[in-house]
Every structure is written in C-alpha cells, then in structure tokens.
Structure 1
Amino acid sequence: MSTTVTYLFDPLCGWCYGASPAIQRLGQEATITLELAPTGLFSGGGRVMSADFADFAWSNDVRIGKLTGQTFSEAYRNQVLGQHGTRFDSSAASLALTAVAHTAPAEELNTLKLLQEARYVNGLDICTPQGVDGVLRARGLTAAADLLARQDPDLQLQHDARVQKARRLMQAHGAQGVPAMVVHGASGARLVRGDALYNGHDALLAAIAGAAA
C-alpha cells in the first residue's frame, strides 16, 4: 500500500536544495507517492538582490552545505548573489514546475533538481522566464517550455491553485516554513518537519511511517 507524501518547498529555498538528495531518493520509493507542492514562499513581493541580502544568504548557504554536502559554488556566489539589483522571485521556477506537471508529470521531480542545480551549481538565473526556459529545453521538455512561452492563462490558474493548496496545508498543520512534508495516512494527515530530511534515508522513512500510522 502506497503512502502519499506532499512535499512543501520553494525552488529558491536553500534548505530545500539541501534536502534535494533525500527528496530525490524518496521519490524512487515504491511505497511512497510523492506530490510536489510549491508554496510560493519567495514568489512576488518585488524583492531584489542586495549586498546585505547576498551576505546573509551566503552565510546560510555555507551552513547548509556543511550539513548536507550540497554544492554552493563560486559561480552561484558571483553570478547570482553578486548580481545586485536582480530579482529574487521564485514565480518563474514554480510556474515551470507546474508546466512540467501538466505536460510530463514523471519529469517534475527531476526538473526541480535541475532548476536547483542550475542556480546553486551553475550560477544561472532561474528567476526569469528566459532562465527557466533554458533549463527546460536543455532537458528536452519543449512542451512545457512552449506552454510557458505562450503565457497560457490556464497554466497560471493551475499554478495559483497549487500554491493556495500548499499554503492551506501549511496553515492547517502549523508548518512554520519549508521544506516540510504532510503525510497522508490511515488516521489523517500529519506534518513531518523539514529536519527529518537531513538525518538519512532510513530515519526519514521511519518518520514518514510514524506519521502515517
């Protein structure tokens, strides 16, 4: 019997990138049905990169890298954090994931990984439609890229509905941030905090099993 796990995240969240290996492995579990739920945590708001914000982000990223072993490259530090005045907005990346979910759902989890690596490893800007378009087309996800390019209003509605559903889950279960998971089990839905994603695969499965019981 499969257990459904809803993964609450934002593509620009460094801790979510740190959890990427755990989430990718979880997505391969035959007994787990993993649903991606972008929360829009860093969508909109008009935030731009500044020297102070870049310094704060880098100090946090160094901590995440030491804990998880994930790469935060000098290309990311220079070409993303160093580009002061550029947008810090996850709308384009979250919309891209919705486009992939619509056109090639089996590719969505891997696309999240590719978007994260494009930013944190390759130093590419995934806060723009052009940036995410390049990631999608490099993977051969042309249908999703074309859907984004057309600025399809139905796609935007689907995306907004996903974000609102994720936010309702966060509110209902008292999630204070991302990453986090909601496990849907026999006795209802329960929150599993994000720190469970950094303690190893066996411990993660045990936490999910406990929440599903």
Structure 2
Amino acid sequence: MEPRALPDTQLLYIFDPLCGWCYGMSPVMKRLAEEYADRLPVTVLSGGMMTGDDAGPMSRMWPYISQALAQVEQVTGVQFGADFRELGAAGSYRNDSEPPSRALQVFKQLDPLGREMAFAHAVQQAHFGQGQDLNDFATYQALLPAFGLEAAEFRRWWDSDAARQATRHEFDVVRRMGVQGFPTLIFAHGQQGHVLARGYQPYEQLQAGLEQLLADVANEAK
C-alpha cells in the first residue's frame, strides 16, 4: 500500500538565494520535493540574508566566500561555475537577497503546480553555476519557459509593490521563527514544528529523519 499524505503537514525549507550552503543543499531538496510530492508538500521560505545595510558589492564578502567554496564543494558535491568565480573576483556585483526572493515569491503565486523548490534550485544554478545576475529580470525570464510561465505577466508582478511587500513579510516571518542560519528544514504538523536539519545534510540522512517523523505522526493519528 502506498503511503498516504498526512493532513496539515508540510516541510518548510528556509533558505536564501545567495547562500552557498543552500546551493549545496539544493539538489538534495529538489530530489526530496520530487520524491515526496504525493505525501508531503515542500514550502520554500526566503530568509533575507543580504538585505538593507547587509546588501552591497560582493567585494565586501568575497575573501570569505572564495575560501568557503572549496568546503561547500567537497562536502556537498556541487560545483561553483567559473563565471560565478569571475563575478565574485571582479567584486562589483551587488549581493542583494531581495530581488531573487521576490522572484520566488512571484513564482509561488503564479505556478499552479507547487514547483517552488524546482524554481529555487534553478535560480541558484543560474547564479552559482552560471554566474547570472539575480538583480536582472532577464535571468528569471530565461528560466520561465521550462515552467510554462509567461514572462510579461511574471515581470508585471516582479515589478509590483505587492510583490515587494509580500517578500518583506516573508523575511519577517522567518525572523519571527527564530531561524539562526540557512539552510534550515522544519517538519511542521498542525501548530507544532520539529527542526529536521540545520545546515547541509545528505539525502539519505535527511530521508531517514523524515521517515521517522512521518511514522510518528501517523502513529499519533491512529
């Protein structure tokens, strides 16, 4: 018998589009969202890691970021592209979490199939893998055909005050949750939440913990 979806249960993936460790976690989360699609919805929340005074030229953080790339690659198996490394070394690129988080916010409103994890993965691939500019709408426009979304409508929403307000609200929600770092994965059931992961975890470890939580909830419901 196929496992059934449990009511009022979801997985909250709290990340930031500019987070390198989230890029490392992204293939794991994309696989998990696909394999659990019929059992457990995955909701992606953006944390606003680089906003306000923290947003600015990549030159501020590049010495730290460049040192961390090798560790992320070694632990997670992802690769940071040559174009991204060139972007970082040049230093003038503006690191700002708001534009890509707003793009994800718009995607969640327009996509009827709940593919937000796949879109978040595609956005991070475009930036960290290909060195694309996440402040430029053209980056998202190139991703939309794969999801069957129309660019003009997406652009109207991406440029809207409503999308900006919704994005700021999501940042505030994450702060109120007390999340200390990205990525964080929370198994939510009803009004209760259990931290499944803080930081990167390989798929097998994550799956084992998730299956245990699902089993616990199913047993409580009996």
Q: Contact 1:49/1:84 (CA < 8 Å) preserved in 2?
A: yes
Residue identity opposite 1:199 in structure 2: P
1:6 Cα shift?
0.6
Residue identity opposite 2:192 in structure 1: G
TM-score in terms of structure 2 length: 0.81
Confirm or deny that 1:193 pairs with 2:197. yes
TM-score in terms of structure 1 length: 0.84
- After the TM superposition, which residues 2-17 of structure 1 pair with which residues of structure 2 at under 5 Å, given as runs? 2=6, 3-17=9-23
Residue identity opposite 1:183 in structure 2: F
Q: Contact 2:57/2:94 (CA < 8 Å) preserved in 1?
A: yes
- CA displacement 1:93-127 (0-9 Å, x = unmatched): 0000001111115332222111111111111111x
CA distance in 1, matches of 2:207, 2:61: 35
Residue identity opposite 1:34 in structure 2: V
Percent of pairs with identical residues: 23
Q: Contact 2:14/2:183 (CA < 8 Å) preserved in 1?
A: yes
- CA displacement 1:131-176 (0-9 Å, x = unmatched): 544444454532323321xx2122222222222212222x1xxx32
- After the TM superposition, which residues 128-143 of structure 1 pair with which residues of structure 2 at under 5 Å, given as runs? 128-137=135-144, 139=146, 140-141=148-149, 142=151, 143=153
Q: Any gaps of 5 or more consecutive residues in structure 1?
A: none
The structure that has the greater radius of gyration is 2
Alignment equivalent of 2:70, drawn from 62, 68, 74:
62
- CA displacement 1:36-56 (0-9 Å, x = unmatched): 110111223232121x62232
Residue identity opposite 1:53 in structure 2: M
CA distance in 2, matches of 1:180, 1:95: 19
CA RMSD in angstroms comes to 2.2
- Structure 2 vs 1, CA of residues 190 and 152 (structure 1 numbering), >3 Å: closer, same or farther? same
- How many equivalent pairs are there? 202
- After the TM superposition, which residues 9-158 of structure 1 pair with which residues of structure 2 at under 5 Å, given as runs? 9-28=15-34, 29=36, 30-45=38-53, 46-50=55-59, 53-78=61-86, 80-105=87-112, 106-126=114-134, 128-137=135-144, 139=146, 140-141=148-149, 142=151, 143-148=153-158, 151-158=159-166
1:60 Cα shift?
0.6
